[in-house]
């Protein structure tokens, strides 16, 4: 049985940090191991606190959330990051997913939705707030390098489409290999080919692409 899931709250508003701590601490299997009010301090304490998940604001003094996500994913790739923000514009979503965020939820979400988002990300699934939805994801895919990706579905083989859907559902390489009767090495090769063909660089971006193409419905 897994022990408590360790969470670090990164938010520059003291009252909101206290509210998040109070809410998440109600779940017996969740442990708030620390808080930070900017990205730089968050990175500094992650090594000592070893959180499973970082709940990350985007607009903070000093190092902002997006810069912090990039650095966290570089130093601690096994640490999940769930963005919690007021921003619902394409620019922020695009940059967060590209930085490696594992989920994106808005601050006007309900308590129940926050719990669902936290648990989904801790279970290895990508969570995108319903308010972000297909329209914003479409806009994200229509900007910058993603423009070429948006028209690349025809370039995928049937097997690559199967694997893309499973990746977007948060399945591990081992699960996908067992499910499709493949070796893990073969799945890893397909995953690499998907990223090259679509010019997308992590599971968050693959998930956004899969949602926009209708391969699965956002949680």
Q: What is the pLDDT of residue 75?
A: 93
Q: What is the pLDDT of residue 148?
A: 44
Q: The tokens of 175 are what?
A: 């699960």
Q: The tokens of 44 are what?
A: 């500094």
Catalogue the E-assigned strands of the chain. 5-10, 30-36, 53-56, 80-85, 103-106, 127-128
| Cα separation, 30 vs 33, whole angstroms | 9
Query: Please, are residues 70 and 26 in contact by the beta-carbon 8 Å criterion?
Result: no
Ranges of H-type helices in the chain? 14-24, 39-49, 65-75, 90-99, 111-122, 133-141, 146-150, 158-168, 173-180, 184-198, 203-212
pLDDT in tens, the chain (219 residues): 356 899 999 998 999 999 999 999 888 889 999 999 988 999 999 989 999 999 999 988 778 888 899 999 999 988 999 999 988 877 788 788 888 899 999 998 898 999 999 998 998 888 888 777 555 555 655 554 444 444 467 778 888 888 888 888 778 888 899 988 989 899 999 888 888 888 887 777 787 778 777 776 544
Q: CA 143, 147, 149 angle in degrees (round to 5)?
A: 130
**Phi-psi sector, 66: left (phi>0), alpha (psi -120 to 50), beta:** alpha
Q: What is the pLDDT of residue 57?
A: 92
Number of neighbours of residue 31 by Cβ within 10 angstroms: 15
The sheet that has 80-85: what strands, in order across it?
Answer: 30-36, 5-10, 53-56, 80-85, 103-106, 127-128
Nearest partner of 18 among 32, 3, 38, judged by Cα: 32
Q: What is the pLDDT of residue 150?
A: 46
Q: What is the pLDDT of residue 45?
A: 94
> What domains sit in the chain, N to C, each tagged with a CATH number?
5-131 (3.40.50.2300), 139-212 (1.10.10.10)
N-term to C-term CA, the chain: 26
Sign of the Cα pseudo-torsion (148, 176, 96, 216, in order)? positive
Distance of CA 94 to the CA centre of its chain: 12
Query: What contacts 93, CB < 8 A, 6 or more positions away?
Result: 87, 104, 132, 136, 137, 140, 208
């Amino acid at each position: 049985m897994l022990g408590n899931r360790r969470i670090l709250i990164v938010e520059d508003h003291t009252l909101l940090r206290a509210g998040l701590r109070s809410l998440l601490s109600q779940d017996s299997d969740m442990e708030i191991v620390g808080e930070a009010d900017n990205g730089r301090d968050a990175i500094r304490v992650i090594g000592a606190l070893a959180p499973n998940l970082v709940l990350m604001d985007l607009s903070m003094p000093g190092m902002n959330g997006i810069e912090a996500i990039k650095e966290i994913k570089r130093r601690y790739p096994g640490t999940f990051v769930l963005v919690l923000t007021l921003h619902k514009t394409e620019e922020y979503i695009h940059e967060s997913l590209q930085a490696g965020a594992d989920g994106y939820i808005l601050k006007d979400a309900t308590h129940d939705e926050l719990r669902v988002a936290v648990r989904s990300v801790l279970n290895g699934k990508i969570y995108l707030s319903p308010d972000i939805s297909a329209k914003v994801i479409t806009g994200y895919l229509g900007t910058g390098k993603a423009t070429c990706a948006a028209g690349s579905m025809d370039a995928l083989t049937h097997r690559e489409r199967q694997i893309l859907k499973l990746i977007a559902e948060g399945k591990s390489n081992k699960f996908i290999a067992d499910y499709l009767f493949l070796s893990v090495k073969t799945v890893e090769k397909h995953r690499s080919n998907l990223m090259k063909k679509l010019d997308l660089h992590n599971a968050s971006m693959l998930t956004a692409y899969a949602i926009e193409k209708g391969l699965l419905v956002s949680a």
